[in-house]
Amino acid sequence: MNEHQQQNLNRYTELADRARQSGFYTYSTFHSRETSSLAFDVASEKELKIWGGTENSERVIVRFGDPEELGFEEDFPIRILFIEPKQAKYSETLTHRDFLGAILNLGIERDMVGDILVQNNSAYCFVLEKLADVFCSDLDRVKHTAVSCKIVDEVPVDFLPKLKEENITVTSPRLDAILAKVYHLSRTDAKELFDMEKVILNGRICKNPETILKENSSVAIRGYGKLEYHGEERMTKKGKTGITIWRYI
């Protein structure tokens, strides 16, 4: 475990202990799925909820607190911002990097900001609730393009990642074999993803390439994408396994 991971683990431990002692939920800032999986080392599944604004957010907040013990539910402190050019026809081409750069130039730390979904020079951005008004008042330019920023309730479906159903045949239902097939990797390269802790299975880092997936499992691979496993469908005459997945594109 590197120093950055240890710092996050210590912070998660502090938040988990505070939630147990105070009787209130506690929240982390935005982290990657990989980092957020460390929370399972310090709290049980019933004490944890991970959310970034959508089901498939890359950057998420960890909430600590058992709803049964606390006796109430509570929304995550996340707001959605819509950022768009004031005059679309005069806008430069704006990318994820441009929107993120404009935000960081306000003096905002990276962990205050979640996913940024970009299309047609506009963006939906997930931020900590306490900073939403700051964004709306201070963010007025991305690159050289004048923009407006406002708080909205939801992200249009068109901006969200799309799911594509795929039926594939693998020599084994092991996770490394599935990843090799889906992402066109050698089995050796697929196994290295586990050694580098890039595979997140149902919210946790998975280090075992021989893992057999359960139906409706969710897998995220840093640098490659995400997929959902819907189970085995058939056996071929040559003894291979046919499975169905849904891949985010």
> What residue segments make up the domains of the chain, in order of their start?
3-70, 78-157, 163-248
**Alpha-carbon distance 103 to 118, whole Å?**
14
**Alpha-carbon distance 142 to 106, whole Å?**
11
Residue 204 CB neighbours (<10 A): 17
With beta carbons less than 8 A apart as the criterion, state whether 37 and 1 touch. no
With beta carbons less than 8 A apart as the criterion, state whether 111 and 30 touch. yes
Domain 163-248 has CATH 3.10.290.10: yes
Nearest Cα neighbor of 18 from 47, 49, 59 is 47
**Alpha-carbon distance 170 to 93, whole Å?**
41
Nearest Cα neighbor of 76 from 105, 42, 36 is 36
| Fold classification of 78-157 (topology level) | Alpha-Beta Plaits (3.30.70)
pLDDT of residue 230: 81
Name the helix (H) or strand (E) containing 60. Answer: strand 59-64
Q: Do domains 3-70 and 78-157 have the same CATH topology?
A: no
**Alpha-carbon distance 80 to 85, whole Å?**
17
pLDDT of residue 207: 94
Which class for 94: exposed (0-12), middle (13-18), buried (19 or more C-beta within 10 A)?
A: buried
Note the residue count of the chain. Answer: 249
Q: How far is CA 178 from CA 76, 187, 210, in A?
A: 34, 9, 10
Strands 78-85 and 145-152: antiparallel
Q: How far is CA 117 from CA 30, 73, 149, in A?
A: 15, 28, 14
Which of helix, strand or coil describes residue 173?
Answer: coil
Place of tokens 């066109």: 184
pLDDT of residue 172: 82
Nearest Cα neighbor of 179 from 191, 161, 196, 195 is 191
pLDDT of residue 4: 83
**Alpha-carbon distance 5 to 41, whole Å?**
12
pLDDT of residue 2: 80
- Full pLDDT tens readout for the chain, 249 residues: 788 889 999 999 999 999 999 999 999 999 999 999 999 999 999 999 999 999 889 999 999 999 999 999 999 999 999 999 999 999 999 999 999 999 999 999 999 999 999 999 999 999 999 999 999 999 999 999 999 999 999 999 988 888 888 888 888 888 999 999 999 999 899 999 999 999 999 989 999 999 998 888 999 998 898 999 987 667 776 778 888 899 887
- Give the type of residue at 73: E
Domain 3-70 has CATH 3.30.160: no
pLDDT of residue 153: 96
Which of helix, strand or coil describes residue 198?
Answer: coil
pLDDT of residue 233: 67
